[in-house]
Amino acid sequence: MNREPGSQPTIFLVEEDDDTRSLLKQNLQTYGYRVLLALDEEDALDHVGVHHADLLLVNLVGKTPMEVLQIGRRIREHAKYDGHTPLVVMAEKYGPDLEGTDVNMGGNDWVTYLEDPGQLKNLLHRLTSARRVEE
Amino acid sequence: MNEHSPAPDGNRLLAHLPAEELALLRPHMEQVQLAHGQRIILPHVPIKDLFFPLNSLLSLVTTMEDGSSVESGSIGREGMSGVPVLLDAVETTMPTFVQIPGEAIRIKASVVKEVYERGGELKKILNRYIHTVIVVGSQSTACNRLHNIEARLARWLLASSDGIGSKEVNITHEYLAVMLGVRRAGVSEAAAKLQERNLIRYNRGNVTIVERESLEMSACECYHAIRQEYERLFS
């Protein structure tokens, strides 16, 4: 399931929030990504792995970043993507000390604590560019 | 709250008062500095002071038992806090707190109520204002249910900019999420979309409106409906 040379990087997005989903998908497409969409964990496990993805982006409602990280890792494993495929979790509740930070959780796993609108764009660009160099 | 000489012209309600009624209020006016997060109305506590913002912004927030909350109205230089006092309700269920710090004129509720009861121009002006509060509340209910986050964010930024008289609005993601009743990721993506189109610039809780006309076109109809109603009643 490798990406064809020269093609757009693909993000597998798991976004539970109806209000955010379409907005996030549109923004990712504007940033130049192909987007594969899942509505929740179950939907993701059903569909992930059918197509190649360069990065998993997960945003789930009512869970801590660590819980979402574990779910994201399960989805990545289920898809049989290699363990280096970047996983990004968008945190929901956090204090001012974390705002604007992207915290590495080991390997290529990240929790992003959004504050500036360009933050997610920059993180995704950094991770997908590094992935291209590796390949 | 630091106090100095009051400048009532900066508030649209006070600016509309005839000289004789303003003279009745003036001895009781205090110009005060309001700090971010300061609670000026607490739920079920009698309202003692009314605040007429000059360049600060107040938020009325409805909070549910599970802690989720949404802004049900904001008050800038076009309005005043403490409407329940005028309606003999004395207190209210919703807290009002300072969203954007700045200055306001504080007058004792009993003083304003006394002049209001005289039935002069102040009563007419404040009755018209009460009508706009009802319009904003009704429009906001529909807006929160029917309009997308991007349009609501544009509306909120424009209304707040109008309320404080500045194109710079200081507000964090966290508060924007509460104000709009949405998740932080939603606010972030809506702001990203507006920023990609160069309508706003957002940096660490400081939003600058770059292209106001285009931002107005991105806002939902609620912004224009409410603004037109204010203009009809107060221009």
DSSP codes, B65-110: TTS-EEEEEEE-TT--S-HHHHTT--S-SS-EEEEE-EEEEEEEHH
CA dihedral A79, A81, A86, A88 (to 10 degrees): 0
Mean pLDDT of B5-26: 91
HEC string of B174-206 equals HHHHHHHCCCHHHHHHHHHHHHHCCCEEEECCE
- B147 vs chain A: nearest CA distance in angstroms? 10
What the block records as the tokens of A9 is 């990087």
Mean pLDDT of B41-64: 94
Cβ–Cβ below 8 Å for B196 and A30 = yes
Closest to A100 (Cβ–Cβ): which among B149, B185, B204?
A: B204
Closest to A20 (Cβ–Cβ): which among B173, B186, B195?
A: B186
pLDDT band at B66; cut points 50, 70, 90: confident
The tens digit of pLDDT for each residue in B213-234 reads: 999 999 999 999 999 999 999 9
Measure the CA–CA gap between A24 and A114, rounded to whole angstroms. Answer: 13
The closest alpha carbon to B183, from B173, B194, B193, belongs to B173
Phi/psi of residue B11, nearest 5 degrees = -110, 130
* Confidence at residue A46, expressed as pLDDT on a 0 to 100 scale: 87
* A-chain residues near B149 (CB < 8 A): 19-20, 23
* Confidence at residue A51, expressed as pLDDT on a 0 to 100 scale: 81
* Confidence at residue B224, expressed as pLDDT on a 0 to 100 scale: 95
Q: Which residue of A has its CA nearest to B172?
A: A115
Cβ–Cβ below 8 Å for B149 and A99 = no
- Chain A interface disruption, residue of B188, B196, B198, B218, most A CBs within 10 A: B188
Provide the pairing of β-strand B57-63 with A55-59: unpaired
**B37 close contact with A: CB closer than 8 A:** no
In this prediction the pTM is: 0.88
> In sequence order, what are the beta bridge partners of B41?
B96
Stretches in chain A below the pLDDT threshold 50: 1
Neighbours of A129 (CB within 10 A): 11
* Residue-by-residue DSSP string for B134-189: HHHHHHHHHHHHHS-HHHHHHHHHHHHHHHHT-SEEE--HHHHHHHHTS-HHHHHH
Cβ–Cβ below 8 Å for B204 and A115 = yes
The closest alpha carbon to B2, from B111, B102, B108, belongs to B102
Q: Which residue of A has its CA nearest to B188?
A: A117
- B198 vs chain A: nearest CA distance in angstroms? 12
For residue B58, pLDDT beyond 80: yes
For residue B158, pLDDT beyond 80: yes
Closest to B202 (Cβ–Cβ): which among A59, A61, A116?
A: A116
**CB within 8 A of B10, min separation 6: which ones?**
B54, B55, B77, B103, B165
* Confidence at residue B2, expressed as pLDDT on a 0 to 100 scale: 45
* Confidence at residue A132, expressed as pLDDT on a 0 to 100 scale: 67
ipTM of the complex: 0.84
- A111 vs chain B: nearest CA distance in angstroms? 13
* Confidence at residue B1, expressed as pLDDT on a 0 to 100 scale: 46
Mean pLDDT of B9-28: 95
> In sequence order, what are the beta bridge partners of A38?
A14
Cβ–Cβ below 8 Å for B192 and A19 = no
What the block records as the tokens of B2 is 């630091």
Closest to A59 (Cβ–Cβ): which among B150, B173, B185?
A: B185
Measure the CA–CA gap between B63 and B72, rounded to whole angstroms. Answer: 10
Cβ–Cβ below 8 Å for A119 and B205 = no
Mean pLDDT of B74-88: 96
- Which residue carries 């989805």 as its tokens? A75
**B145 close contact with A: CB closer than 8 A:** no
Q: For all residues of chain B together, what is the average pLDDT?
A: 92
The angle at the Cα of B15, spanning B9 to B18, to the nearest 5 degrees, equals 130
Cβ–Cβ below 8 Å for B149 and A23 = yes
pLDDT band at B169; cut points 50, 70, 90: very high
The tens digit of pLDDT for each residue in B82-123 reads: 999 999 999 999 999 999 999 999 999 999 999 999 999 999
The angle at the Cα of B221, spanning B231 to B130, to the nearest 5 degrees, equals 45
